[in-house]
Amino acid sequence: SAYTASRAGQRRGRRVGFPRFKSKKRAPLSFRIRSKTSAAGRAGIRVGERAPRTVTLPGIGALAVRQDTRRLRRMLAKGRAKVVSATVSHRAGRWAVSLACEAADLHEARRHPPKTGAAGWVGVDRGLSTFVAAARADGTQVLRVDGWPRPARAAAARQRRLSRKVTGKQRGSHNRAKAAARLGRHHARVAAIRRRFLHQVSNQLVNTHDRLAIETLTITGMLGNRRLASAVADAAWGELARQLTYKQQWRAGQLALVDRWYPSTKTCSACRRVAPAMPLHQRTFTCQACGYQADRDHNAAVNLAVWAEQHHAQSRDLPAGGPVTNAGRGEGSGSRTRAGETGPDDAGTAPTPPGARRGRPRRALSHNSTEL
């Protein structure tokens, strides 16, 4: 559909080419199996049947998995969840199985408590020298992450060496395939280091702060700057924003997206005067009008918080199309939930007050990925 829309001029961005066919040789190898229930009422995909850490797939049998399956097994046993399908994929020498499940909502007591209170918005400035600077509108610093791993830069020499080993081998040979697999594992490792770091940062932010404001960055535009491109790509700001978005949804927190034209770096967070553009190497912000001096990234973070305070006040009910609000976990599971016979009487489910339902599909699909 992306291809046809692109051809018809109904799709923005770069032209999308004709879809490629799945390759038997190239990663990611993957396939999906649906869970059909037998006439006897037995599900096709079963978890923990042979041993606790196994997943049984139709036609394949029981597979040992690495990850703990306890919570999923308990939900399945209680009829609070149902496996819809399993996707088996192969990446960088490892097989993984992801189970798509239909599940009832968590009981209110088990949900993350909304962090109510006077705490306002926290501005989060993403940068290259300081990875993340977070501050409140009143100027208090909340979090500052100066060092970050720069995984791709650290691994660049090894990557070049491994790439050379691939191109030095004869095309189509087994040795070339082995060298390519080695390079693939290297890339997967770099990605894993980056992902782990981003999860640590995003967890720190969402665990303690209810309302976060980040700038919408034109990352594609920044990648056009050849001096910055590799560092910008390595920083994976887009991935950080994605993680913050879904983690705030889980926790009923809010994420405000600050307009990208808002001059967060150039504005004085003390007197609100907008100064002329600052070159990147200038790490300290000095106000020409009031003499206020602060770290560049801290000043920007404060300004982002100020923007969010002005545009979103303190209300919890925000207009649609604004920041990401609660994803709707507050909705209990009614009798129509396919994920089982979980009614209001169910010990693990909160009764749904009439009228409390929000416009959200009743089926909740969640992915539970586990490594083989």
Select from 29, 62, 292, 343 the one that contacts Zn ion (CB under 5 A).
292
Among candidate residues 158, 127, 160, 161, the one with its CA nearest the CA of residue 144: 127
Q: Does 29 bind Zn ion (CB under 5 A)?
A: no
Which residue in the list 215, 234, 309, 346 is annotated as catalytic? 215
**Is 331 designated active site?**
no
Residue 261 bridge partners (DSSP): none
DSSP 189: H
228: left (phi over 0), alpha (psi -120 to 50) or beta: alpha
Q: Is 317 a catalytic residue?
A: no
Dihedral sign (CA 219, 223, 229, 233): positive
Residue 271 is a binding residue for Zn ion (CB under 5 A): yes
290 touching Zn ion, by CB under 5 A: yes
Are 133 and 305 contacting, i.e. CB atoms less than 8 angstroms apart?
no
What's the token pair of residue 190?
């770099």
Residue 268 binds Zn ion, judged by CB under 5 A: yes
Q: Report the number of secondary-structure helices (H) and strands (E) in the chain.
A: 9, 14
CB of 271 to Zn ion, least distance (A): 3
| Residue among 83, 287, 294, 364 that touches Zn ion (CB under 5 A) | 287
Evaluated on CA atoms 71, 73, 77, 83, the torsion sign reads: positive
Q: Is 297 a catalytic residue?
A: yes
262 versus 292: smaller Cβ distance to Zn ion: 292
User: Binding of Zn ion at residue 294 (CB under 5 A)?
Assistant: no
Q: How far is CA 77 from the centre of its chain?
A: 29
Rg of the chain (C-alpha set): 25
The helix/strand/coil state of 61 is: strand
| Cβ closest to Zn ion, residue 265 vs residue 370 | 265
Indicate which single residue of 270, 278, 324, 372 sits in contact with Zn ion (rule: CB under 5 A): 270
Q: Are 286 and 268 in contact (CB under 8 A)?
A: no
Count of residues engaged in binding Zn ion, rule: CB under 5 A: 7
User: Hey, what are 281's tokens?
Assistant: 């190497």
The nearest distance, CB 263 to Zn ion, in angstroms, is 13
**CB of 275 vs Zn ion, minimal distance in Å:** 8
225-264 footprint of Zn ion as x/- string (CB under 5 A): ----------------------------------------
Q: What are phi and psi of 280, to 5 degrees?
A: -60, -30
Q: Which one, 143 or 270, has the nearer CB to Zn ion?
A: 270
Q: Measured from the CB of residue 306, what is the shortest distance to Zn ion in angstroms?
A: 13
Active site residues: 125, 215, 297
Interface contacts to Zn ion, rule CB under 5 A: 268, 270-271, 287, 289-290, 292
